[in-house]
Amino acid sequence: MFAQTPKPPYYAVIFTSVREAGDSGYSSMSDEMVDEVKKQSGFLGFESAREELGITVSYWHDLDSIADWRNNRKHSIARSKGKQDWYSAYKVRICKVESDYDWFRSE
């Protein structure tokens, strides 16, 4: 459900995107990237939803972990494919999570 993140501070990368029509290998690469990122040091988890707009938030231990993932070879190939085929546009925001809280219905 929610990414299981530690007590703040930690980091979040908010990736907002608009897709081009058609799959063009997106779904299989997306699955592959999930497997790959889980092996990445400092990766804490992610949350994702798409309607008109897609929002994927990944959580990270620190900025170095985010930079390492950006330099990951498979991830770089996926990003090139993203610009070539999958996305009309995207925006990336790198954030420090300063505080958080949650609520769960108790029945």
Q: Does 55 bind a copy of itself (CB under 8 A)?
A: yes
Please identify, using beta-carbon distances, which residue of 33 and 46 lies nearer to a copy of itself.
46
Q: Does 26 bind a copy of itself (CB under 8 A)?
A: no
Which residues, in sequence order, are CB contacts of 87 under 8 Å at separation 6+?
Answer: 17, 18, 19, 20
Long-range contacts of residues 48-53, Cβ cutoff 8 Å, at least 24 apart: 50/19, 52/18, 53/16, 53/17, 53/18
Q: Does 92 bind a copy of itself (CB under 8 A)?
A: yes
Q: Does 16 bind a copy of itself (CB under 8 A)?
A: yes
- Helical (H) or strand (E) element with 33: helix 26-38
Of the listed pieces 29-37, 42-50, 69-77, which binds a copy of itself according to CB under 8 A?
Answer: 42-50
How many residues are present in the chain?
107
Q: Does 57 bind a copy of itself (CB under 8 A)?
A: yes
Nearest distance, CB of residue 87 and a copy of itself, angstroms: 7
